[in-house]
Every structure is written in structure tokens, then in C-alpha cells.
Amino acid sequence: MEVSPKLISHTRQLLQNGIFNHLSDEKISTLHYMILSSNPKAQDQQLIFKLWREGDYTSNFINMQLLQQTNYILQMHGQRMIEEDFLELILD
């Protein structure tokens, strides 16, 4: 099973908008490699979701819109929304 083009496209959009600028060069390189890979595998999908969760969506309104799109895609793939992670931090 391959990673859908929609996940690759959304990851590219997140990179272009600086969502991952605070991550290590190694993690950013991993994302770039997956985008450029001709056939990313299913295990790459889980890594993409993990790295999406490490993104910084709080710096401006556009990033908050990207968070909404990201949450929608996560839900469509049976994953927890990132907003739910924020709520857990607040409630702890």
C-alpha cells in the first residue's frame, strides 16, 4: 500500500508554510525525501502523521487553517486530531 498523493500534497503545503521550521534538519529531510520518493510505503504514512503532530500551527491564521485541513485528513485516515492532543495537554 502506498501513501496517497493527497498526503504528499498536504505535507508539501505544510513544508511551504513553515509548519516544520522548528524541527531538526533530519526530520525535515525525512519529509522532503518522502515527498520526492517515487513510491512511499504505508509505514511512511504513519511517520508523516507523527511528524504532522510535531508541527507548529500557532504562529498565524493561515497555519490555523492548515491545522483544520490536517485534522480533517487525519480523521479521514482514522487518526486522532491534533486538536485532541492540545486538549489533553490543557487537561493534564
pLDDT in tens, 22-73: 999 999 999 999 888 877 777 789 999 999 999 998 888 888 899 999 999 9
Please name the residue ranges forming H helices in the chain: 5-16, 25-36, 42-53, 61-76, 82-91
Q: What is the pTM of this model?
A: 0.84
**For the segment 69-89, what is each residue's pLDDT rounded down to a tens digit?**
999 999 999 999 987 555 544
DSSP 8-state secondary structure symbol assigned to residue 41: B
